[in-house]
Chain A
């Protein structure tokens, strides 16, 4: 557990995101490994890939067993597909988080994407070969080279430092090669270094041409000797004089070298598998391919490095209050005017950028929300604005914002279950954000659907998905549940209120009010709506439920339906005795 850090969760048991952090993907049914060993208690959970972290949330002990690692620590990933009974796994090779110098060295202006590198040359020790290319004149003892077994023609890797002793046996057939084989290979690597040096100094490779020019290694088109790049396919041209066995490797290295300028490896740091601590994520219910793809993209984008980008123009929602305070302060003098005009410009720019297309609007959603909020704030402070307009604007800006990025089907891993579970969790967070409190603790499913979809704004969800997500609230142990009234109206309510408790609360209220007002005044659904904040539909349903249980009686007239405490059930009248004084 050296690399994992404990994280905080929302009420719906999703990780609390950092500033500017965005959910990208979630996959259920994963287990964690530290190195080669299973982590006890971390074998059944969900893994969240965000722009900043990989988070693990345990399905059972979520409070104590939820951890994360920062993506900035990851320098290499490796994918091992499932074999027989072993699940597919993704290994994340991590730098120790305590030494800040190493991650900085990695994040050079054009950083190597470890993901891409690992993809291209999975088994090759990337750094070693890159070092061999970038430092050609001082082949240090770490430089590796390959020698070809003369028996089985397997290409064995070897370090220069080890080559002076007796040659090791071939890894495949176990036959020791003669010393001359090793020597030849060593000479060959010197040739590669020379060629690479020539390339890196941008000298024409034309020095090694013959009269036909030479063939492109990719498309075999015979180019003019003075060309650096293939005329047909644009591939980098390599001298033909290289030993054919090393040609391939050299090309690979050069391609890597060309695309990502490597940072100098700190000397003395050895990247052997044995030295590296790594963690593994085991995907027991699939989803590893998508996770891998998304992880590669995230590692390439390196969003965690851009976290300061937006500071200054708009802050996060947390400092909303402080911003309103500063806005109220009068800006005096020319400086104030200048600041205002600069801000105006920024806003205009933001608006223009955002409306370019919908994608960028999505990206700018946060800024737009805060802009809408400032408009609302300005309106509410300005005199002469109609009250409805103010409240409408305030409400709309409230409804615009979901606390976390919207859950989309693409985000969830294999199987619809994960998607519905995530949707349910986000709904729970949404409800928890005061939506349900405003509705008096109960709201109809269609009201919630409309509100939630309005909050999503884009990529709306279908009623079917919505219903399925809501119906697993209880299974996920979220603090909400569905309830169906007898008439078929389905509502969402807080799980810790039982139906009976809600109903007896209503009945008690009616009894006390009828005592206060006298018996002749019943309550209508509107009265209940005002008292408890429930929508009229729900109020009516609750009243009818109480009626079915025999606690209320109704009075239907042209004025509408009113509900009364049920006196009919309890009223006893012995008419023979009371009217005719008979002894019965």
Chain B
């Protein structure tokens, strides 16, 4: 969460190449026709993934994100309503492109924040494994922080990856037998050890 504001503020200055549908006013209205709505949902799904990847956004907090230009086209003076936004994210969650982050407290009303998987955990697992391979870090132990913020990952796609996503990617690798979580004496997860793919 702490990385989000800085990323999002920096991202708004760079210009994301919006598709032409973004200038189509009905795109910002929830279409009553179910068939059109399905198409609309998938377009929004693509747009959010592309936007997040372009701006390296890992999480969307609807309370603040609703103000982003992603959901506001000021040229045509149209914006997506919050409830429509939620519906879009709901459908993304259904497709596995996002996941609600249940915050503390009552879980029902807390569906305002979501992790966006612009790459699926499996993809991240592959990318991390390739990175370990290419940098010769097999059989070494890395902390989670080193993977996301370390010097060697500066130019990597997963630079600054959200810890939750990273953990899910590592879980994939563990299931494949390519990594192992190392725990410290007091039971906390301290680092991860990578093995060769054999």
Check B76 against A568 for contact (C-beta < 8 Å).
Answer: no
The answer to the question of A567 belonging to the interface, with a C-beta cut-off of 8 Å to chain B, is yes
**Chain A's nearest CB lies how many Å from the CB of B84?**
11
A567 partner residues in chain B, CB cutoff 8 A: 21, 24, 26
Q: Does B40 contact A (CB under 8 A)?
A: yes
Residues A573 and B46 in contact, CB atoms below 8 Å apart: yes
For B143-175 the 0/1 string (1 means CB < 8 A from A) is 000000000000000000000000000000000
**A201 CB–B CB distance under 8 Å:** no
State the CA gap A519–B47 with chains docked (Å): 20
| Separation of A564 and B50 alpha carbons in the complex (Å) | 26
> Quick check: is A571 within 8 A (CB to CB) of the other chain?
yes
Question: A553 contacts which of B31, B53, B54 (Cβ < 8 Å)?
Answer: B31
Which one, B24, B46, B77, contacts A568 given CB within 8 A? B24
| 20 intermolecular pairs with C-beta atoms under 8 Å apart | A519-B23, A547-B31, A550-B33, A550-B35, A553-B33, A554-B26, A554-B31, A554-B32, A555-B26, A555-B78, A568-B26, A568-B39, A571-B19, A571-B24, A573-B47, A575-B46, A576-B50, A578-B17, A579-B16, A579-B17
Expressed in whole angstroms, the minimum distance between the Cβ of B91 and any Cβ of chain A is 15
A223 at the interface (CB under 8 A from B): no
User: How far does the alpha carbon of A548 sit from the alpha carbon of B21 in the complex, in Å?
Assistant: 20
Cβ proximity bits A546-583 to B, threshold 8 Å, 1 near / 0 not: 01101001111100001010111101010110111000
* A571 B50 Cβ-Cβ under 8 A: no
B49–A519 CB distance below 8 A: no
Beyond A567-B21, A578-B17, A579-B17, whether A555 also contacts B39 by CB under 8 A is no
The 10 closest A-B pairs by CB, nearest first: A575-B50, A553-B26, A555-B25, A555-B26, A575-B46, A571-B21, A556-B29, A573-B19, A579-B50, A569-B39
Smallest distance from the beta carbon of B25 to chain A beta carbons, Å? 4
Chain A residues with CB below 8 A from B100, complex form: none
Chain A residues engaging chain B, CB cutoff 8 angstroms: 519-520, 522, 547-548, 550, 553-557, 562, 564, 566-569, 571, 573, 575-576, 578-580
Specify which of A519, A547, A562, A568 is in contact with B40 (CB 8 Å cutoff): A568
- Cα distance, A578 to B35, chains bound together (Å): 25
**Is B194 in the interface zone, CB < 8 Å from A?**
no
Q: Are B43 and A571 in contact (CB-based, < 8 A)?
A: yes
Instruction: Specify which chain B residues have a CB less than 8 angstroms from the CB of A575 in the assembled complex.
Output: 19, 46-47, 49-50
**Nearest Cβ on chain B to A434's Cβ, whole angstroms:** 36
Assess A522 versus B26: contact at CB under 8 Å? Given A554-B31, A569-B35, A575-B47: yes
Distance (whole angstroms) from the CB of B104 to the closest CB of chain A = 34
A564 to B23, CA, bound (A): 12
Q: Bound state CA distance, A557 and B84, in angstroms?
A: 14
A519 and B46 within 8 A (CB): no
Quick one: closest A residue to B46, CB to CB?
A575
* A548: nearest chain-B partner, CB-CB: B33
Q: Which of B25, B29, B32 has the most CB of A within 10 A?
A: B25
The answer on a CB contact under 8 Å between A550 and B47 is no
| Known contacts A554-B29, A555-B78, A573 near B24 by CB under 8 Å | no
Q: For the complex, what is the distance from the CA of A579 to the CA of B52, rounded to whole Å? A: 12
Q: CB within 8 Å of A: which of B1-48?
A: 16-17, 19-21, 23-29, 31-33, 35-36, 39-40, 43, 46-47
Most buried by B among A522, A564, A566, A575: A575
User: In residues 115-149 of chain B, which contact A (Cβ within 8 Å)?
Assistant: none
- Using Cβ atoms and an 8 Å threshold, which residues of chain A touch B25? 520, 522, 555, 557, 562, 564
A522: chain B residues at CB < 8 Å are: 25-26
Secondary structure type dominating chain A contacts: mixed
Task: Knowing A573-B46, A579-B17, say if A520 contacts B23 (CB, 8 Å).
Answer: yes
A554 to B40, CA, bound (A): 12
For B48, the closest partner residue in chain A by CB is: A575
A550 to B33, CA, bound (A): 7
A312 CB → nearest B CB, Å? 64
Complex Cα spacing A495 to B49, Å: 51
Contact B23 A568 (CB under 8 A): no
Residue of B nearest to A576 (CB): B50
Distance to closest chain B CB from A503 (angstroms): 14
**Chain B hits for A576, CB < 8 A:** 50
Q: Would B26 and A550 count as touching, CB distance under 8 A?
A: no
B21 CB to closest chain A CB, in angstroms? 5
Question: Given the known A-B contacts A548-B33, A555-B78, A578-B17, are A568 and B27 also in contact in the complex, defined by CB atoms under 8 Å?
Answer: yes
Task: Return chain A residues, CB-CB under 8 Å to B49.
Answer: 575
Query: What residue in chain B is nearest A522 (Cβ atoms)?
Result: B25
Q: A520-B76, A553-B31, A555-B26 are in contact. Are A569 and B46 (CB under 8 A)?
A: no
Instruction: Please indicate the chain A residues that have their CB under 8 angstroms from the CB of B23 in the complex.
Output: 519-520
Q: Are A568 and B36 in contact (CB under 8 A)?
A: yes
| Chain A residues whose C-beta falls within 8 Å of the C-beta of B28 in the assembled complex | 555
CB-CB < 8 A to B19: which residues of A?
A: 571, 573, 575, 578
How far is B39's CA from A562's CA once the two chains are assembled, in angstroms? 19
Given known contacts A553-B26, A578-B17, A547 and B32 CB-to-CB distance under 8 angstroms: yes
Name the A residues within 8 Å of B36 (CB-CB): 547, 550, 553, 566, 568-569
* CB neighbours of A557 from chain B (8 A): 25, 29, 77-78
Given contacts A547-B31, A555-B28, A575-B49, 15 further A-B contacts (CB under 8 A): A519-B23, A519-B24, A522-B25, A547-B36, A553-B29, A555-B26, A557-B25, A564-B24, A566-B36, A567-B24, A568-B21, A568-B36, A568-B40, A571-B19, A575-B50
Would you give the shortest CB distance from A1 to chain B, in whole angstroms? 61
Known A-B contacts A522-B26, A567-B24, A578-B17; A547 and B43 likewise in contact (beta carbons under 8 Å): no
Distance between Cα atoms of A578 and B23 in the complex (Å):
17
Q: With A and B bound together, what is the CA distance between A579 and B27 in angstroms?
A: 20
Question: What residue of chain A has the Cβ atom nearest to residue B31's Cβ?
Answer: A553
**Cβ–Cβ < 8 Å partners of B46 in chain A:** 573, 575
Which residues on the B side are within 8 Å of A564 (C-beta)? 24-26
